Amino acid sequence: MDLIINILISAVAFFIGAQLLSGVTVRNFISAIVIAIVVGILNITLGTVLKIITLGILSFGVFTLFLDAVLILVADWFLEDFKVKNFWWALGLATIVAIVNGIGHWVF
């Protein structure tokens, strides 16, 4: 049950981010759910490897946002219904997703 709640909170975060940022496009909420799943899988696999390789380069909190932006760009490359114009839009989306996820996990 927790996994489903986490995916739905992340999907809401991606959907809200796409509504707030003109450089990010998500076709619909179902696409946002798929995006949340793909970014989650990328974060577990590629994100973990990148965090291990780059351990100690930057403070962990700031660097995590940069890694999340990179993972969002990788997801953009894989998914047809998800478009991000460039790294800066991805960084903005990563920030919004982090904030919405934090609030969502605090509430639920």
Sequential pLDDT tens for the chain (108 residues): 899 999 999 999 999 999 999 999 999 999 999 999 999 999 999 988 887 777 766 566 778 889 999 999 999 999 999 999 999 999 999 999 999 999 998 998
Looking at residue 1, what is its pLDDT? 85
What is the widest separation between alpha-carbon atoms in the chain? 38
Predicted TM-score (pTM) of this structure? 0.90
Contact 14, 32 (CB under 8 A): yes
Looking at residue 50, what is its pLDDT? 80
| Alpha-helical segments (H) within the chain | 2-20, 29-42, 48-53, 60-78, 87-107
